[in-house]
Amino acid sequence: LMSLRLVQAATRYRCCHTRRTTTTTRAMSPVVDSHLHVWAGKEETASFPYEPGREPPESLAASTDHLLKTMDLCKVDKAMIVQPINHLYDHRYVSAALRSHLQRLRGMLLANPTATPEEAVLELKRLVSDEGFSGVRFNPYLWPVNEEGLGTMNDEVGRALFDACGTLSLPVGFMFFQGILHRLGGEPAPTHADDAVALMESFPDTKVIFDHFGFTNKFESPEAWRRLLQICDAFPQVYVKVSAPFRVSKNGYPYDDIFAQQLNELLRVVGAERLMIGSDFPFVQEQEGGYASHISRELLAKVNGITESDVNAIMGGTADKLFFKV
């Protein structure tokens, strides 16, 4: 059942669908890629080995040097590196990138739900204080399941981590690859959306980010899309990455279904000050248009009525404030 807060948000959404929040982002905001990954190149794996069984495709170049050259070529000023699954809980490669390029790069560590609550929080604090990470990824598919095969992020370790993130001003990024209505192990496990709402209601100081449009296509799953908008409206601490449209769109580049439709609704409900563009490098390199076409003002221009101030916020103003000015 939806909480009272979500019911109220659903009512506001139906009655005030055209509500729009203005942004005060300056015209000269930097361009910030809010979502990408790096991992060791083949020549670096002796020092930074991959997690066994999680080796990346050989066709994808994803070293720090390659990323920075790509950013320079495409005039991207800053970026948030999300810890890749290829290195799992070994954060040393991303840590090295942060130490060498702190003015341009920030890092989102990968929460370890297999540790005890005390161990998980202790490692989180170490990575923040010693290694320079400034965000935390919750990947629900790493959470353990019970004897019935059911799982939830709203367990003892998840709650301890989420609470610590609020205390340390670390935004939590939710990676709901199977969609926000997916249940770990099926019913009666809670949906990913249920988990997110329960955690936010318990720990409202923790900021939350839904990756990649919440992995939701409004035309394929209108129920999931409505739920995402309701959550965004009910909880002002929620941000959305308008990133990796190739993971959501059914039309392909230039993603008219996503940018002309879904982003339009997100602007009305959320406002540009809680939206961030992202590439999902290096995977974007395999898509039509490549990196440059996915960190692009032209994609945003498809939104009817979008303002220059909105574009500046989504292209970097929001991410710069959230990740770099804390």
> What does the pLDDT average to over 222-232?
98
Question: What mean pLDDT is predicted for residues 287-304?
Answer: 93
Burial status of residue 298 (CB atoms within 10 A of its CB: 0-12, 13-18, 19 or more): exposed
- Backbone phi and psi for residue 181, each to the nearest 5 degrees, phi listed first: -95, 5
* Mean pLDDT computed over 145-170: 97
Tell me the whole-structure pTM to 2 decimals.
Answer: 0.91
Rounded to whole angstroms, the Cα distance separating 84 from 281 reads: 11
**What is the token pair recorded at 126?**
């170490």
What is the distance between the alpha carbons of residues 152 and 141, in angstroms, rounded to a whole number?
10
Phi, psi at residue 108, to the nearest 5°?
A: -110, 115
Which range is least confidently modeled, 21-25, 27-31, 97-101, 224-228?
A: 21-25
Confidence label for 13 from pLDDT (cuts 50, 70 and 90): very low
CB neighbours of residue 325 within 10 Å: 6
- Looking at 84-93, 104-113, 204-213, 299-308, which range is the least confident one? 299-308
Q: What are the φ/ψ torsions at residue 13 (nearest 5 degrees)?
A: -65, -45
pLDDT above 70: percentage of residues in the chain:
91
CA-nearest of 241, 233, 260 to 249 is 260
Average pLDDT value for residue range 189-204: 98
What is the pLDDT, as a whole number, of residue 4? 56
Sign for the pseudo-dihedral over CA of 247, 251, 254, 260: negative
Average pLDDT score over the chain: 92
> What is the reported pLDDT for 326?
63
Q: At residue 190, does pLDDT exceed 70?
A: yes
Q: Does 6 have pLDDT greater than 80?
A: no
Mean pLDDT (whole number) for 210-237? 97
